[in-house]
Amino acid sequence: MPRSRADRAVEPASNPAGAVQGTVLAGALIAAQSAHEPVDASRLVVLVLLTQLVHWPARVYAETAGHRVDTGRRPGWPEVQRLVTEERSLVGASSGPPALVVLAGVAGAPVPPSGHLPRSASSTGDPGGLGR
């Protein structure tokens, strides 16, 4: 079945920068939320949704302003619609990490505060990561 242009725009291949930025955005929110307490999945989902509602239009505005600087003309409505659709990959990509946190919670896996996660070998100076 053929996919719509809007569906293809959410795919990382059509806008990899937006997909990477969305993933980083969600990861940063999860890390910040879990800095000192276990992750509350419902709070995290609301936090990511609100951040998406601010960040997505801000990216579209930045692209629109950049277009005006580059071309010397204001973009028309079709161009703005294209940018809105193109930047949807940020929303799609930033939804994945919180979904994994929610699924982990549903499965009964505890999500500890990030300060309680095992340190990487590079942060401890222990190349084997065994804590010796």
User: Which pair of tokens denotes residue 113?
Assistant: 């505060």
The structure tokens listed for 111 are 């999500």
The pTM score is 0.59
Q: Is 14 exposed, middle or buried (0-12, 13-18, 19+ CB in 10 A)?
A: middle
Coil, strand or helix at 118: coil
pLDDT at position 77 is: 92
4-55 pLDDT, tens digit each: 544 444 455 567 777 777 888 888 887 777 776 777 778 888 888 888 888 8
63-97 residue pLDDT tens: 899 988 999 999 899 999 988 888 888 888 888 88
